[in-house]
Amino acid sequence: MLKGISPLVGPDLLALLCRMGHGDEIVLADAHFPGESVGRRVVRADGCGSPILLDAILPLLELDGKGGSPMVMMAADGKDVLDPTVEDSYRRVILRHCPGAPPSRETSDSPFTSEPGRPLRLVMTGETAKYGNIILRKGVTPCEPRTIPTDS
């Protein structure tokens, strides 16, 4: 048991986050997403909705503020329509942890299924909202000066 880490962030997810470098991306996929077919590294968080999991992950993950939005939502296919409350629920959580974060952008499903040569880090959530997938891009974690205790 570790202090300060939500119990929703299990050992596999914690290891996945730990292995990410700046610029790496992670997908929080909804329950409809074909994760096992497209993911090379799949972590399961089936009982957890994406906003709740976002709230658990964001204290541990610095978002990338360079080069556009560090958050990408899946765009609707064809004549389908997005439910704006899905993005709004994610945005509220993101702003709580990252005030001033730029709005997310929408894209087709191709970045969600990985581009050639790019690893896909995928967390399958229990989110049931349609198009409830989000990509987060990790930034550089700020370093604070550390003092080494001395024996007195």
Residue 97 is among the residues annotated as catalytic for this protein: no
Among residues 2, 6, 10, 22, the one annotated as catalytic is 22
pTM of the predicted model, to two decimals?
0.85
143 closest CA partner among 81, 62, 80, 76: 62
Q: Is 57 exposed, middle or buried (0-12, 13-18, 19+ CB in 10 A)?
A: buried
Sequential pLDDT tens for the chain (152 residues): 678 999 999 999 999 999 999 888 899 999 998 888 876 779 999 989 999 999 999 999 999 877 678 888 888 888 888 888 998 999 999 999 988 888 887 776 556 665 555 667 899 999 999 889 998 989 888 777 667 777 76
Taking the C-alpha atoms of residue 30 and residue 49, their distance in angstroms, rounded to an integer, is 8
